[in-house]
Each structure stands twice: as structure tokens, then as C-alpha cells.
Amino acid sequence: MSQAVVVEGKRVAKWKVEEVNELTDLLKGNKTVLIASVESFPADKLHEIRKRLRGKAVVRVTKNTLFRIAAKKSGIDVEKIDQYLTGPNAFIFTNDNPFEIYMFFEKFKLKRFAIPGDKADEEVVVPAGDTGIPAGPMLSVFGKLKIQTKVQEGKIHVVKDTVVAKPGDPIPVEIIPILQKLGIMPVHVKLKVKAAYYENLVIPGEQLHLDLEGYKNDVLKAFSEAFTLATEAVYPEPKVLENVISKAFARARALAAEAGFVTPETAEAAFARAYSKAMALASALAGKVDLGIQVATVPAGAPAGGGQVQEKKEEEKKEEEKKASEEDVGAGLSSLFG
């Protein structure tokens, strides 16, 4: 017969009183408590979680009624968490941030053997090699699943690695005993966190998920936009001023080159712009005014072969000059000999 003690005039099992006292101490000694459902959760997997959280958190599976009593004794407003105290629960006590513990549960992948009706959480591969399964009726199962096999020393050997299910696919019922024999666990187990109680604040489980990559991109975007704004506003901060001076120098050099103001820094750009404008003007005047220079008139958008067009024109001009010269000589001879 279990021992009992009298509490407020009622006989209560001693273990319940001790459990409430321990839970009260845990609640008072930790800033955070997470409530997680353990319905259909494998007991051995919960043991793995305890081992991984040792020194960081205490995992306790207890009755909801006892937890309520301990919560009241600890000064917690039970009404805030009462909706989560249904079904079998595990309570995780820690001084860490609840978001950090939740991230642990998201990253810490537990696996279990498949049962009928499961879908694969990862690619399920039957590896090549000895299965240890005696040759016999099981050969037909391998054949049905299109897994190439051979028999050696009375045992079934898989010829090559074979994928029997991809992530999200139903796991064939026939392969389940084979996967168990080979020690393959294709189904992930995840502890479902219902809520966290942190410094008098209740955070629902779905709000504990942090999109770290999204937050990172948001921060980078905000930094970029803030830096651009600070640069335009010439905010007096060393890194900003470096960018401000660099942009100001580039703008000043471009303005000086446009205005034809020559300095060692602007000379190359200024002369290049002046030459470009001069050639454009000469090209526009070619054929109207004798500038005493040869100007290559290349139509806008013409290919790089425009130089060949100019050479052809120069050859035609020389041919005409040669012909005119020959005509002049002929006329001169005629006048000389009557």
C-alpha cells in the first residue's frame, strides 16, 4: 500500500506531494518552461532528448493536475497556460531562451522504424550487400520492388543500391520488415512544443519558430538601405565618410572633365572628352568646309569595318585624280602640236 500524507485535511499519496514540491522548485529555479505533447512519442526517443539536454534543461513527464498545483504555488497565472495542459505532456525546464530550445528541437532529428501508413521523410535506399535474410519467399518481395538480388551462401544479397521511396512517398508495406532487418529508420520523430512560459509571458508553439535566413536577409537589406541613406545625408561616421569622400571625388572628377578643367587627375578624361567632341564636330563639317584633315565618317551604329569603307573612298578619290591628271596631259600635248 502506497504511503499517504494529509494535506489540507485530505489524504494524498506521498509521491504526489514530493512530485509537486520538485516541480515547484523547478519552476522557481528556471526562467523558462516549455510544454510539449508526448502523445504517441516513443519513450526511448524522449530518453535521447534528455541525454542531449543534460546540463542545459530538465525534461519531466508528469500529470497535468500536479503541474497545475505546482504552477499555482510558484505564482504562475495558471489560466494563461491551462489550454495547453491537455493530453500527455512533457515539461522542459531551462534558464535558456525559449527560442533557443525550440531551435534545438527543430535541428535535433530523431528517427524511428517505419510502420504501415508512414511516408518517407528522407530518401529510402536499400544498400547493396548481404541482407542476412535467408533465400526463400522473401525473394519475391525483392522482385516485386524491382530490387536486383542474388543468392550467396543461402542469403539474399542486393546487387546495387536501390531507392524504394523518395521524401513524401508512402513507404511500401512489403519493404518495412526488410528495412527493420537492415536497421534503416526512414521516419523522423519530432517533439511537438505546444507553448513556452517565459518571464510571465506565454508564447504559442507556432510563434517559437524563427526564420533565421529570412531575418538575415532583412537585416542585410536594412543595412544596405541605411548605409545608402547615410551616404547621401553625409552622416559623420567613419565608414560612411569613406564612401561619401569616394563618391564626391568621382563626381568632382566627372564635372571637372566635362568643364575641361585640367588637373593631373582629370587630364586623361578631359582630353578624351575634348578629342571626342572635336572629332564629332569635324565629322559633321566634313564635305562642307575644308579642314585640312582626313575625318573618318562612320555612320552611327556601323560595324567596326567602317575603316574599310573610308579606305575604299580614298582609293576612288585617288583614281579620279589620276584620271583627271591624264586628261590634262593629253590636252596639253594637243595644244603643243596643233
DSSP string across 92-136: EEESS-HHHHHHHHHH--EEE---TT-B-SS-EEE-SEEEEEESS
- pLDDT score for 314: 56
Helix axes 238-259, 267-285, angle to 10 degrees: 30
Environment class of 140 (CB within 10 Å of its CB; exposed 0-12, middle 13-18, buried 19+): exposed
The CATH architecture one would assign to domain 124-187 is Alpha-Beta Complex (3.90)
**Residues forming CATH 3.30.70.1730 domain(s) in the chain:** 12-109+190-210
C-alpha 91/C-alpha 93 separation (Å) is: 6
- pLDDT score for 294: 63
Q: Tell me whether strands 124-126 and 162-165 are parallel, antiparallel or unpaired.
A: antiparallel
C-alpha 195/C-alpha 34 separation (Å) is: 6
Q: Find, among 65, 64, 57, the residue nearest to 26 by Cα.
A: 57
- pLDDT score for 243: 84
Beta bridge pairs of residue 116: none
The answer to whether domain 12-109+190-210 has CATH 3.30.70.1730 is yes
C-alpha 106/C-alpha 122 separation (Å) is: 16
C-alpha 242/C-alpha 266 separation (Å) is: 21
Environment class of 241 (CB within 10 Å of its CB; exposed 0-12, middle 13-18, buried 19+): middle
- pLDDT score for 24: 95
**Residues forming CATH 3.90.105.20 domain(s) in the chain:** 124-187
* pLDDT tens, residue order, the chain (338 aa): 457 766 666 777 889 999 999 999 999 999 999 999 999 888 888 998 999 999 999 999 999 999 999 999 999 999 999 999 999 999 999 999 999 999 888 887 788 899 999 999 999 999 999 999 998 888 998 999 899 999 999 999 999 999 999 999 999 999 999 999 999 999 988 889 999 999 889 999 999 988 777 778 888 889 888 888 888 888 888 888 888 888 887 888 788 877 777 778 778 877 888 788 888 877 777 766 666 666 655 444 444 444 444 455 555 555 655 554 455 444 443 443 34
Phi then psi for 146, rounded to 5 degrees? 60, 40
- pLDDT score for 329: 41
**Identity of the amino acid at 45:** K
- pLDDT score for 209: 86
Measured CA distances, 229 to 232, 240, 244, 249 (Å):
5, 10, 11, 18
